[in-house]
Protein backbone atom coordinates (compact mmCIF):
# COMPACT_ATOMS: atom_id res chain seq x y z
CA UNK A 1 0.00 0.00 0.00
CA UNK A 2 1.52 3.33 -1.10
CA UNK A 3 0.36 6.73 0.11
CA UNK A 4 0.45 9.90 -2.03
CA UNK A 5 3.43 12.20 -1.48
CA UNK A 6 2.91 15.96 -1.78
CA UNK A 7 4.51 17.19 -5.03
CA UNK A 8 6.47 19.73 -2.94
CA UNK A 9 8.16 16.72 -1.26
CA UNK A 10 8.45 14.53 -4.37
CA UNK A 11 12.12 15.14 -5.25
CA UNK A 12 13.11 14.45 -1.65
CA UNK A 13 12.35 10.81 -2.53
CA UNK A 14 15.50 10.83 -4.71
CA UNK A 15 17.58 13.39 -2.80
CA UNK A 16 20.16 10.90 -1.55
CA UNK A 17 23.26 11.51 -3.70
CA UNK A 18 26.38 12.42 -1.74
CA UNK A 19 26.08 15.80 -0.10
CA UNK A 20 29.22 17.82 -0.75
CA UNK A 21 30.99 20.96 0.40
CA UNK A 22 31.63 23.33 -2.48
CA UNK A 23 34.52 25.76 -1.94
CA UNK A 24 34.96 28.96 -3.89
CA UNK A 25 37.58 31.67 -4.00
CA UNK A 26 36.44 35.07 -2.73
CA UNK A 27 39.00 37.57 -4.01
CA UNK A 28 36.88 40.50 -2.78
CA UNK A 29 37.21 39.44 0.85
CA UNK A 30 40.61 37.78 0.46
CA UNK A 31 39.26 34.54 1.94
CA UNK A 32 37.50 31.52 0.46
CA UNK A 33 33.88 30.52 1.07
CA UNK A 34 32.30 27.10 1.43
CA UNK A 35 28.68 25.87 1.31
CA UNK A 36 26.74 22.58 1.43
CA UNK A 37 25.25 21.23 -1.78
CA UNK A 38 23.10 18.19 -2.43
CA UNK A 39 21.76 18.85 -5.95
CA UNK A 40 24.70 17.70 -8.02
CA UNK A 41 25.10 14.95 -10.60
CA UNK A 42 27.74 13.63 -13.03
CA UNK A 43 26.96 14.28 -16.71
CA UNK A 44 29.99 12.82 -18.49
CA UNK A 45 33.10 10.61 -18.21
CA UNK A 46 35.25 12.01 -21.05
CA UNK A 47 35.76 14.77 -20.31
CA UNK A 48 34.55 14.26 -16.74
CA UNK A 49 31.69 16.68 -16.20
CA UNK A 50 29.04 17.50 -13.64
CA UNK A 51 26.11 19.84 -13.13
CA UNK A 52 24.87 21.46 -9.93
CA UNK A 53 21.96 23.73 -9.08
CA UNK A 54 22.92 26.79 -7.06
CA UNK A 55 20.36 29.13 -5.53
CA UNK A 56 20.67 32.73 -6.71
CA UNK A 57 20.35 33.96 -3.11
CA UNK A 58 23.51 32.15 -2.06
CA UNK A 59 26.66 34.25 -1.73
CA UNK A 60 28.51 31.44 -3.52
CA UNK A 61 26.28 31.93 -6.57
CA UNK A 62 27.89 35.35 -7.09
CA UNK A 63 31.39 33.98 -6.43
CA UNK A 64 31.05 31.03 -8.83
CA UNK A 65 29.51 33.26 -11.50
CA UNK A 66 32.54 35.56 -11.26
CA UNK A 67 35.38 33.06 -10.75
CA UNK A 68 33.88 30.29 -12.97
CA UNK A 69 35.85 27.82 -10.85
CA UNK A 70 35.07 25.83 -7.70
CA UNK A 71 35.99 22.64 -5.86
CA UNK A 72 33.55 19.85 -4.98
CA UNK A 73 34.75 18.34 -1.69
CA UNK A 74 33.41 15.02 -0.42
CA UNK A 75 32.94 14.92 3.34
CA UNK A 76 32.73 11.74 5.39
CA UNK A 77 30.18 11.22 8.14
CA UNK A 78 32.45 12.72 10.81
CA UNK A 79 31.88 16.11 9.15
CA UNK A 80 28.07 16.01 9.09
CA UNK A 81 27.65 18.80 11.67
CA UNK A 82 30.08 21.08 9.84
CA UNK A 83 28.26 20.37 6.55
CA UNK A 84 24.92 21.23 8.11
CA UNK A 85 26.43 24.44 9.50
CA UNK A 86 27.92 25.44 6.12
CA UNK A 87 24.50 24.88 4.58
CA UNK A 88 22.67 27.09 7.03
CA UNK A 89 24.81 30.22 7.37
CA UNK A 90 26.10 32.52 4.63
CA UNK A 91 29.62 33.57 3.76
CA UNK A 92 28.17 37.08 3.51
CA UNK A 93 27.99 37.09 7.32
CA UNK A 94 30.58 34.56 8.52
CA UNK A 95 34.03 33.24 7.62
CA UNK A 96 32.77 29.65 7.49
CA UNK A 97 36.20 28.05 7.08
CA UNK A 98 37.22 29.68 10.37
CA UNK A 99 33.93 29.22 12.20
CA UNK A 100 33.60 25.54 11.24
CA UNK A 101 37.29 24.77 11.85
CA UNK A 102 37.90 23.77 8.23
CA UNK A 103 41.30 24.02 6.54
CA UNK A 104 41.74 25.68 3.13
CA UNK A 105 44.42 23.77 1.20
CA UNK A 106 45.71 25.02 -2.19
CA UNK A 107 44.25 23.12 -5.15
CA UNK A 108 46.29 21.89 -8.14
CA UNK A 109 44.48 23.59 -11.02
CA UNK A 110 42.00 26.16 -9.67
CA UNK A 111 42.17 29.15 -7.33
CA UNK A 112 39.42 27.83 -5.05
CA UNK A 113 40.95 25.83 -2.19
CA UNK A 114 40.30 22.24 -1.20
CA UNK A 115 38.62 21.59 2.15
CA UNK A 116 41.48 19.65 3.75
CA UNK A 117 39.28 17.59 6.10
CA UNK A 118 37.29 16.10 3.18
CA UNK A 119 38.22 12.70 1.71
CA UNK A 120 37.91 13.56 -1.97
CA UNK A 121 38.06 16.60 -4.23
CA UNK A 122 36.99 17.49 -7.77
CA UNK A 123 38.50 20.71 -9.10
CA UNK A 124 36.05 22.21 -11.59
CA UNK A 125 35.85 24.89 -14.27
CA UNK A 126 32.45 26.15 -15.38
CA UNK A 127 31.76 25.37 -19.04
CA UNK A 128 28.16 26.50 -19.33
CA UNK A 129 25.40 28.04 -17.24
CA UNK A 130 21.66 27.73 -17.65
CA UNK A 131 19.15 29.87 -15.77
CA UNK A 132 16.74 27.58 -13.92
CA UNK A 133 13.86 29.62 -12.54
CA UNK A 134 15.56 32.19 -10.36
CA UNK A 135 18.53 29.85 -9.82
CA UNK A 136 21.34 28.60 -12.04
CA UNK A 137 22.53 25.25 -13.33
CA UNK A 138 26.32 25.32 -13.47
CA UNK A 139 27.82 22.77 -15.86
CA UNK A 140 31.51 22.18 -15.22
CA UNK A 141 34.45 20.11 -16.38
CA UNK A 142 36.52 18.34 -13.74
CA UNK A 143 40.14 19.40 -14.36
CA UNK A 144 41.77 17.59 -11.41
CA UNK A 145 40.64 15.07 -8.82
CA UNK A 146 42.11 13.49 -5.71
CA UNK A 147 40.98 11.14 -2.95
CA UNK A 148 42.29 9.80 0.33
CA UNK A 149 44.61 6.86 -0.28
CA UNK A 150 43.10 3.56 0.83
CA UNK A 151 39.55 4.91 0.88
CA UNK A 152 39.02 5.13 -2.90
CA UNK A 153 40.25 2.81 -5.66
CA UNK A 154 37.73 2.42 -8.46
CA UNK A 155 35.01 2.93 -5.83
CA UNK A 156 34.65 4.29 -2.31
CA UNK A 157 35.48 1.62 0.30
CA UNK A 158 32.56 2.43 2.56
CA UNK A 159 33.21 -0.71 4.57
CA UNK A 160 35.84 1.58 6.17
CA UNK A 161 33.99 4.09 8.42
CA UNK A 162 36.34 6.87 7.24
CA UNK A 163 34.98 6.49 3.67
CA UNK A 164 31.29 6.82 4.57
CA UNK A 165 29.60 9.61 2.63
CA UNK A 166 26.58 11.56 3.81
CA UNK A 167 23.32 11.90 1.90
CA UNK A 168 20.83 14.66 2.59
CA UNK A 169 17.32 13.41 3.29
CA UNK A 170 15.67 16.79 3.91
CA UNK A 171 15.72 19.17 6.87
CA UNK A 172 18.57 18.27 9.21
CA UNK A 173 18.39 14.54 8.36
CA UNK A 174 21.25 12.70 6.64
CA UNK A 175 21.77 9.07 5.67
CA UNK A 176 25.24 7.60 6.04
CA UNK A 177 26.46 5.10 3.42
CA UNK A 178 27.42 2.01 5.38
CA UNK A 179 27.45 -1.12 3.22
CA UNK A 180 28.50 -2.02 -0.31
CA UNK A 181 27.11 -4.90 -2.35
CA UNK A 182 28.88 -6.43 -5.35
CA UNK A 183 26.68 -8.21 -7.89
CA UNK A 184 28.33 -10.99 -9.91
CA UNK A 185 27.65 -14.42 -11.38
CA UNK A 186 24.05 -13.59 -12.15
CA UNK A 187 24.18 -15.55 -15.40
CA UNK A 188 24.08 -12.54 -17.73
Ligand X SMILES: Cc1cc2nc3c(=O)[nH]c(=O)nc-3n(C[C@H](O)[C@H](O)[C@H](O)COP(=O)(O)O)c2cc1C
Give the footprint of ligand X on this chain (CB under 6 A): 19, 33, 35-39, 53-55, 58-60, 84, 87-92, 168
Min dist CB 184 to ligand X, Å, is 34
φ, ψ for residue 67 (rounded to 5)?
Answer: -80, -30
Give which of 125, 182, 117 is closest to 154, Cα–Cα. 182
Instruction: Decide whether 58 or 165 has the Cβ nearer to ligand X.
Output: 58
Q: How far apart are CA 85 and CA 101, in angstroms?
A: 11
Contact between 166 and 21 under an 8 Å Cβ cutoff? The reply is no
Instruction: Decide whether 95 or 148 has the Cβ nearer to ligand X.
Output: 95
Contact between 21 and 85 under an 8 Å Cβ cutoff? The reply is no
Min dist CB 18 to ligand X, Å, is 11
Contact between 26 and 33 under an 8 Å Cβ cutoff? The reply is yes
Instruction: Decide whether 117 or 157 has the Cβ nearer to ligand X.
Output: 117
Min dist CB 139 to ligand X, Å, is 15
Instruction: Decide whether 37 or 163 has the Cβ nearer to ligand X.
Output: 37
Min dist CB 94 to ligand X, Å, is 8
Amino acid sequence: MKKPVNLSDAVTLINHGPTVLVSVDDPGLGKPNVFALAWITPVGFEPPALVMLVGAGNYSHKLISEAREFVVNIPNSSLVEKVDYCGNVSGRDVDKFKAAGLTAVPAQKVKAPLVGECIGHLECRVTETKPWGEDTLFFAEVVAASAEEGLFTDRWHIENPAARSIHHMGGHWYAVAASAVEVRNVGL
